[in-house]
């Protein structure tokens, strides 16, 4: 499939998602080291969930690479894909989504990565908090949008990935976790990568799972009260729909989504 056709396919999938309420609550992240499920907070962060599901439904996370791991901080993915050869391909990104810093970045939550200095720049990349990062990430860069939480014993899989040794493969891959890798190797191999083989919807009930009690981000509220800046979404706007349509009619520029520790 050509690059242009890939853009159109992802754009159409995101457009279909944009035209309805976020409908999936639980997704399963399938990895080479085991699977884990995430409850999406449809009602708390509707725009972000809709954005994430656009990528899920389009197949954008097929053979996605866990490209960053920082001990006791975050495990990050959503930006790069392995398509049977190196170098890795960047995920084709759609329009950025408005920031929704409603919930706290506690251990086990999933949040959107974004560009430094731009609260409303999240696109395809996401990270899972390995520790309580609320004091930092609830307020940095307008607050990082938490839009779901790992269910049950799923963090055992996440922690196993986080325990892998990391290597500097250059550029955005300077903290990439690798399996069975030796620095004596002449080149990186597919079997060294931590691949997310796919992310799929397993439960379409939009109510939050009964075992979860999402924790509000009170720090960003305090920042707003003291005159700081911040923004949050309140559903799917006509602006979001327009951006989805624009994304279909033209290619999307690629830019690295990141955050600072």
Instruction: Answer whether residue 195 is part of any domain.
Output: yes
Instruction: Answer whether residue 62 is part of any domain.
Output: yes
Instruction: Answer whether residue 242 is part of any domain.
Output: yes
The tally of domains found in the chain comes to 1
Residue 104, domain CATH = 2.40.100.10
- Give residue-wise pLDDT tens across range 166-222: 999 999 999 999 999 998 888 999 999 999 999 999 998 777 777 788 999 999 877
pTM metric for this prediction: 0.79
Find the domain containing 216 and state its range: 3-249
Instruction: Answer whether residue 255 is part of any domain.
Output: no
114-146 core/surface letters (b: 16 or more CB in 10 A; e: else): bbeeebbbbbbbbbbbbebbbeebbbbbbbbbb
Instruction: Answer whether residue 258 is part of any domain.
Output: no
Give residue 53's pLDDT.
95
- Give residue-wise pLDDT tens across range 15-64: 444 434 434 589 999 999 999 999 999 999 999 999 999 999 999 999 99
Instruction: Answer whether residue 94 is part of any domain.
Output: yes
Instruction: Answer whether residue 259 is part of any domain.
Output: no
Instruction: Answer whether residue 257 is part of any domain.
Output: no
| Among candidate residues 82, 70, 78, 81, the one with its CA nearest the CA of residue 97 | 78
Percent of the chain surpassing pLDDT 90: 67
CA distance linking residue 3 with residue 199, whole number of Å: 21
């Amino acid at each position: 499939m050509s690059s242009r056709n890939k853009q159109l396919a992802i754009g159409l999938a995101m457009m279909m998602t944009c035209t309805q309420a976020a409908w999936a609550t639980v997704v399963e992240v399938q990895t080479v080291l085991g699977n884990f499920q995430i409850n999406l907070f449809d009602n708390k962060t509707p725009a972000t969930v809709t954005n994430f599901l656009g990528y899920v439904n389009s197949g954008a996370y097929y053979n996605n690479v866990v490209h960053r791991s920082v001990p006791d901080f975050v495990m990050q993915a959503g930006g790069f894909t392995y398509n049977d050869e190196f170098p890795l391909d960047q995920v084709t990104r759609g329009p950025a989504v408005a920031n929704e810093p409603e919930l706290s970045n506690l251990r086990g939550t999933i949040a959107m990565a974004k560009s430094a200095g731009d609260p409303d720049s999240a696109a395809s990349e996401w990270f899972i908090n390995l520790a309580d990062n609320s004091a930092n990430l609830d307020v940095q860069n307008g607050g990082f949008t938490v839009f779901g939480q790992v269910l049950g014993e799923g963090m055992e899989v996440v922690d196993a990935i986080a325990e892998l040794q990391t290597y500097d493969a250059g550029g955005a891959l300077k903290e990439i976790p690798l399996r069975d890798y030796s620095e004596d190797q002449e080149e990186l191999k597919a079997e060294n990568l931590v691949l997310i083989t796919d992310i799929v919807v397993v439960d379409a009930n939009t109510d939050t799972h009964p075992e979860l009690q999402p924790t509000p981000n009170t720090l960003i509220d305090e920042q707003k009260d003291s005159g700081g800046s911040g923004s949050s979404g309140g559903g799917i706007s006509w602006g979001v729909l327009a951006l989805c349509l624009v994304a279909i009619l033209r290619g999307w520029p690629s830019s690295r989504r990141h955050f600072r520790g």
